[in-house]
Amino acid sequence: MSAWWQQRTLRFRLALWYSLGGAVLLAAFSATLYFFVAQRMAQPLAKNLQTDLQTIHEHLSIGPDLVLRWDGEVIPANELWDAHDPWFELWDEQGRLVRRLWPFTENRLDRLPAAPVPGSETVSVFRISQDIRLRSLSAPFPVQGRPWMIRVMRIHEPAGEALGSLLAIMMVALPLVVGLLVAGGYFITRRWLKPLELMVRQAEGISIRNLSQRLPEGSDAELGRLAAAFNSTLSRLEDSFKTLDRFVADASHELRTPLTTLRSVGEVGLRRSRTVEEYQEIIGSMLEEAQRLQQLVERLLELASAEGGVRHLHCESLALDRFVRNCVSDLGILAEINNQQIVTTTTACTVRADPVLLRQVLQNLVDNATKYSPQGSTIRITVATAGSECRISVADEGPGIPSGHARHLADRFYRVDDSRVREKGGFGLGLAITKAYLRVMGGRLEYVPAEPKGSCFSVILPDAGSS
C-alpha cells in the first residue's frame, strides 16, 4: 500500500486527501446535524407527554369499584375519546389492558401496542397503522396499592417525516458534494501545481550546454523561493564548471610545455651521433624538465587535496609567536641563498590550527618573498593581535603587484608576469594552495602593498586565547 501511494503523483495525492478529508468532515457534520435535529424535535414531544401525564394525574380518578372517572364523571365504556384530551392506556399488574382511551376506531388499526414493561418509565415509538406512528411514555400508576402501568401517547408522524426528509436529503446530497469535492480538489491542485510542472519542464531542458538558463521565480512565495534556490544552485554549478574548464585548460597548458620540451630535446638528441658529454647534457636537460613536470603534478595534487577540504585535519593549540620563530629559523636558508635577511617581530598570541598546514602556508609566503625580492633586501615577518584575531604578515621589498592584479592573486595559474614567474620556477599555484589551507583552518589571506615598495601578505586566524 505504501509503495502504491508513493508511486502516485503529488496532484493525485493532494486531490485524494482533500476529497477524503472533505467527505469525512461533511459526513461528521451531517450526522451531528441529524442527531441534533432529532433530539431537538424529540424534546417537545417528550415534554408534551410529561404534560399529558400530569394532566391525567389531575383529572383521572379510579374508585374502589375500579370505575374510571374524569373530573368526577364516569367515563362510558364505549365512548370515543376526544382528540384534544390526553390519550392513554391503563394496564393492570398482570399486564392486561384495563382501558384504552384514544380517538381511533378499531377498523383503522393494523396492530395494537404490546403491554409496557412493568415498574419502569420508558419512552418508545410504535406504529398502529400504515399512516400512524405514536410516541409513548410508560410510567407506574398505582391503583389501590396495586402496581398498574399507564401509557400516555401522542402522534409521532410529523417529527418522523421531518427527520426522514432530512435523512433523504443528506443521503442524496452527500455523494453529490463528495463528487464536487473530488472534482474541485483535482482542479484546484492541478491549477496550483501548474507552475511547478512548468518549472520541472524547464529544469529538464537545462544541461551542461545551457547552464546559463534560469527558472522564472514568479510571484508565488513558496515556488518563488524554490526557483530562487534552484537558480542559486545552477549559478554555483555554472561557476564550478567554468572554474573546472579554466583549471583543465590551464593545467593542460602547463603540462604541455615540459612534455613538449622533453620530446623536442629527445628528438634533437637522436638526429645524429653525439659524444658522451653531449648526451649527458641532453639527458640533464630532459631530467630538468622531468623534475619540473613532477613538481607541477605534485602542486596540482596538493591543490586538489587542499580544495577538497583536507580530510585529516589535526588542529592543536599553538603559541603563534614561538611557532613562527621556529619556522623562520628553518626557512632562513631560502633568504641566505639570495643574500637576504629575515627580520621577525612577534607578539604573544595563541591559535588553534594544524601545524603542518600552517607551516606550509608560511613557507609558501616566505618562498614567494625571497623569489621576488632583490638580493641584499630585508623580508619582515610580524606576528600581532587585532581584536579576536592573530595576524602573520610577510612583507618584502620586491617590485610589488599592480592594483589591477591584486584580486586575482589566489586564482590558480594566475601570473602577474608570466616570463618572470617561469624564470623563478613557479606555476601560479602557491597562493591558491595557501588560501585553500587557510580556509579549512578557519582563516583567510589578505594582501596590501608594502610601503614604500613591495608586497605584504597577511595570514589571519582566530585568536584561541580571546574570549
Cα–Cα distance measured from residue 11 to residue 224, given in angstroms and rounded to the nearest whole number: 19
Contact partners, residue 137, CB within 8 Å, separation at least 6: 46, 49, 50, 52, 53, 121, 122, 123, 151, 152
Q: Whole-number mean pLDDT of the chain?
A: 77
* Mean predicted confidence (pLDDT) in 135-155: 90
Query: Which of 280-294, 371-385, 452-466 has the highest mean predicted lDDT (pLDDT)?
Result: 371-385
Residue at grid coordinates 384534544: 84
Length of the chain: 467
- Determine if residue 105 is left, alpha or beta; phi over 0 gives left, psi from -120 to 50 gives alpha, anything else beta: beta
What is the band of 150 on the pLDDT scale with cuts at 50, 70, 90?
very high
Cα–Cα distance measured from residue 13 to residue 5, given in angstroms and rounded to the nearest whole number: 8
Decide if pLDDT at 156 tops 70: yes
What is the band of 252 on the pLDDT scale with cuts at 50, 70, 90?
low
Prediction pTM value? 0.45
Domains of the chain as residue ranges with CATH: 7-165 (3.30.450), 221-307 (1.10.287.130), 316-462 (3.30.565.10)
Q: SS in 3 state form for 379-426? A: EEEEEEEECCEEEEEEECCCCCCCHHHHHHCCCCCCCCCHHHHHHHCC
Digit-coded pLDDT (tens) for 95-120: 899 888 888 887 778 888 888 988 88
What is the band of 411 on the pLDDT scale with cuts at 50, 70, 90?
low
* Mean predicted confidence (pLDDT) in 84-94: 90
Residue at grid coordinates 435535529: 37
The DSSP string of 285-323 is HHHHHHHHHHHHHHHHHHHHHHHTT-SS---EEEEHHHH
Digit-coded pLDDT (tens) for 193-211: 777 777 777 777 777 777 7
- 247 vs 461, higher pLDDT: 461
